[in-house]
Structures are given as C-alpha cells and as structure tokens.
Amino acid sequence: MGTLREIATADAVWGAEYPGRGDRIAERLPATLEELAERLTLEFVERFGENGVTKTMLIGFSMGAFVALEMTRRVFTYCGAEPATLVVVGAIAPHRRRPSAYPQTDEALTRLLDRDGLVPPEVRDYALDLLRGDMALMEKYRGPAEVPVSCPLIALCGADDPARAATDDATGAWRRWTTGPFRAELVPGGHLDLLKPGHGSAFWHVIER
C-alpha cells in the first residue's frame, strides 16, 4: 500500500507517507494535524492489526513527533492498547510550544530548509510548498488534551538543535506526556542530523540503549 513503505533493508522498519507526498501526491491534504494523525492511525491499524500495533515502535521527527503522539492516543482508542514505545525527535514538548513562533515567510522557510541541508536544489520549490503546508498545520495545532500516554517514551534532541536553545528543558519536558518509563537524551548535531545518510546506525544505537 502507498501509505506505509519500507524505508530500510530491515523488514520491520516502515515509514508513513503523508498525503500530498510521493505516491500520495494526488490525495487531499489534511486540514489539521489531528486529521492527519487520524488518517494515518486508521491505515496503521489496518496494516498491522490490533495485535501488531502493540509490538511496534512509533517514531516521529520534528512535526512528526506530534503526529506520533496523536497516533499513540488514537491507537489506544481503537485497539485498547498503545504501541510498544513512542520516540520523539527534534521537537519541543507540546505544552512548551509557541505556535505563533513558527516561520511563515518564504524567506524564513527557505532558511529553515537550508539549515539542515537535506533538500537537493532540484526539488527545493516542491519542498518549500510542503514545508509551507506543514507550518500551517503546526500553527493551527494547539496540542493534545492534557492526558498522557502510558507507553515508554524516548525524547531525543540534537545538541545544536534550535529547539533545545528555545528553552532549558525542551526535551526533558516530554516527561509530562507519559505515565510510563521515560528517557531524554541529547545527541550530536542539529535538528535532523539523525536523518542524514550514514547516521542510521547511530540513531538505533541511542534507541537500543
């Protein structure tokens, strides 16, 4: 199916493809982050089944951290159980966010794209359109209800990530969002350095500690 596609040689690693991207480019874009999480959750449960989702680890990078949190809560609603672990990377805890602070101008968004060096020049305009849409979702998102999940939660942040500079405990503040085991760690690099080619083994090493 187009929603979940294998993104590594390991059979157990899958990536969520958002509407408006890749194989789903013709699909209607979600109006809110909550709608995006709802659609992905239904597809997630359909793909793995009620028993399978409890054996999975949900990982969200940047905006995806909030999508993963919303999905974890919805998985419990549909299945009566949560994923095995929730991992959030490069994201300020929901209650520490300031939606009005997200960049909105093309100039600011372009700087954001260039900062992480993950976008080839030939797809820059396309990436800018996607980022503009993502920022609109994040600006409208007011965060989940004050009800934490219960599964283990791991929060990671790059030592040079602006999200860390925004507050003295942006990553550790995720502790509030689970009643289960919690771990917060700083990793070398910037906002999404763990996504760069060759950094996969370092990411899994941190997760498996």
| pLDDT above 90 (res 190) | no
Torsion sign across C-alpha atoms 68, 89, 145, 141:
negative
Instruction: Quick: pLDDT tens for 31-42.
Output: 999 999 999 999
Choice between 88 and 146, residue whose per-residue pLDDT is larger? 88
pTM of the model: 0.83
- Can you spell out the DSSP letters for 69-91? HHHHHHHHHHHSS--SEEEEES-
Mean pLDDT for the stretch of residues 57-65: 92
pLDDT band at 7 (very low <50, low <70, confident <90, very high): very low
Instruction: Quick: pLDDT tens for 70-106.
Output: 999 999 999 999 999 999 998 888 888 776 666 667 7
CA–CA dist 53, 169 (Å, integer)? 30
Task: Give the domains, in start order, of the chain with CATH numbers.
Answer: 4-207 (3.40.50.1820)
| pLDDT above 90 (res 130) | no
CA–CA dist 74, 94 (Å, integer)? 17
